[in-house]
Copies of this chain bind each other. A is one copy, B any other.
Amino acid sequence: MKRGRKPTIDAADITRAAIAIADAEGLASVSMARVAAEMGNATMALYRHVKSKDELLALMWDSAMEEPPPLPDGDWRDKLGFWAKAVLVAIRRRPWFLQIPISGPPVGPKNLRWLDSALTALEDVPLEPAEKIGVVMGLSTFAQGEARLIGTLAQGFENDPAQFNHQYGQRLREIVDPRAMPALAEIIESGVFDLDDVVRAEDLGADFDFGLHLFLEGVAAHIRSRA
A→B interface (CB under 8 Å): 99, 101-105, 107, 109, 112-113, 115-117, 119-120, 122-123, 129-135, 137-138, 141-142, 144-146, 148-149, 152-153, 155-156, 159-160, 163-164, 168, 171-172, 175-176, 180-184, 186-187, 190-192, 207, 210-211, 213-222
Are the CB atoms of A105 and B145 closer together than 8 Å?
no
Q: Is the interface of A mostly helix, strand, loop or mixed?
A: helix
How often does this chain occur in the complex, in copies?
2
Q: Which residues of the partner chain B approach A116 to less than 8 Å between Cβ atoms? A: 176, 180-184
Are the CB atoms of A159 and B103 closer together than 8 Å?
yes
Are the CB atoms of A160 and B104 closer together than 8 Å?
yes
Are the CB atoms of B107 and A171 closer together than 8 Å?
yes
A105 to B119, CA, bound (A): 34
- Which of B123, B133, B142, B172 makes the CB contact (< 8 A) with A145? B142
Are the CB atoms of B207 and A123 closer together than 8 Å?
no
Are the CB atoms of B103 and A138 closer together than 8 Å?
no
Are the CB atoms of B168 and A214 closer together than 8 Å?
no
Are the CB atoms of B192 and A129 closer together than 8 Å?
yes
Q: What are 15 sample pairs from A and B whose C-beta atoms fall under 8 A apart?
A: A104-B156, A112-B175, A115-B184, A120-B183, A129-B186, A129-B192, A133-B187, A134-B207, A134-B210, A137-B207, A138-B210, A142-B145, A144-B148, A214-B219, A214-B222
Are the CB atoms of A192 and B133 closer together than 8 Å?
yes
Besides A103-B156, A218-B221, 7 new A-B residue pairs in contact (Cβ under 8 A), listed by A number: A103-B159, A116-B183, A129-B190, A129-B192, A132-B187, A138-B210, A217-B222
